Amino acid sequence: MYALRWVWVVLALAGCSNRETLVVYSPHGPEVLKDWKARFEAKYPEVDVQVMDMGSQDVYTRVKAEANRPVADVWWGAPSTMFMQAADEGLLQPYRPTWADKVDAQYKDAQDLWYGTYRSPLAIVFNNRKLTPEAAPKTWDELLDPKWKDKITIRKPLASGTMRTFFCAMISRAASEDAGIEWLRTLHQSTEAYPESPQLLYDHIKRNEELVTVWLMADAALQRDRNSYPFGWVVPPQTPVLTEGIAIIKGAPHPELAQRFYEFVTTPEALAQQAEAYAKIPARKDIDPKLLPKWIVETKIDPMPVDWKVFAQKEAAWCKRWDDEVYSKK
């Protein structure tokens, strides 16, 4: 019933315009989405872009629920593991972009069902009014030190592709699945709150200077530079590095417009603008470093080795275990 209500909302929005309608589902946030909606419509004034901003898991859930009657045309943004799941379930339409050979094989689907747009390392983020990189936790295991008890805040995980990736990464690096769940149990015992959205997370850290969290380094940089949030961060060794992707939804109502939007937001010029304005690190390897912010070029990342295919297959079960055995357990 909820899915049907959403369909009618989108159809109602579309009915308010005489232009062709393109529907984009994305977790990239209102600033990015409003910007690129305006840019696309400026170039193609005959198109009305309806952007639906929601968490990565919510996008996946909605695309799956609407499989028999697709509403959206483009899925722009989410960890690659979610695109892998969607690809395995037949939810995505093959499309080979003009820049297909400019992305390493590990950052795209072999059948052209999705392509990587950004590379996003996870970091330990803190309020720099209170903490410094030297005083903040510098490794994942330091988060479990008793000194950080009740000083950790975590974006509510199950609706967030970012946090699902972090939780699953902590399980995958452990000696066993049970050991990984126990690690997350200890983290949970030190966590004072689970904000419902990224914006609530940012505001919570801003107000509570002693708190630390786990979030995307690029988003922390964006909030610092664009919105003056007092954020600093440490990128731990062996950090998970998310590949965010883009795909056309199978049965998209407007496939030609979907391809046009896909190409529009992934040109070298577009990715350079997204890097400068929104701290997005391009997955394409042909972007001139001179066009990128200095911090992107100079940041050194030690990525955690991950078999993302296996990761994607186990993600749902691992997250359910966390919810059943840690978060919901009395």
What averages of pLDDT result for each successive group of 10 residues across the chain (330 residues)?
A: 52 62 94 96 97 93 96 96 94 98 94 96 96 96 97 94 93 96 97 95 97 94 91 94 95 98 97 92 93 86 87 92 90
Looking at residue 330, its pLDDT comes to 55
CATH class label, 121-240+303-327: alpha beta
Are 123 and 217 spatial neighbours (Cβ–Cβ below 8 Å)? yes
Cα 129 versus chain centre, distance: 27
CA distances from 227 to 93, 153, 199, 239 (A): 37, 20, 11, 26
Are 51 and 33 spatial neighbours (Cβ–Cβ below 8 Å)? yes
Beta bridge partners of 108: 115
CATH superfamily to which 2-119+241-297 belongs: Periplasmic binding protein-like II (3.40.190.10)
Q: Is 251 left (phi over 0), alpha (psi -120 to 50) or beta?
A: left
Are 239 and 302 spatial neighbours (Cβ–Cβ below 8 Å)? yes
Q: Give the tens place of pLDDT for each residue, 19-43.
A: 899 999 999 989 899 999 999 999 9
Domain boundaries in the chain? 2-119+241-297, 121-240+303-327
Q: What is the largest CA-CA distance in the chain?
A: 60
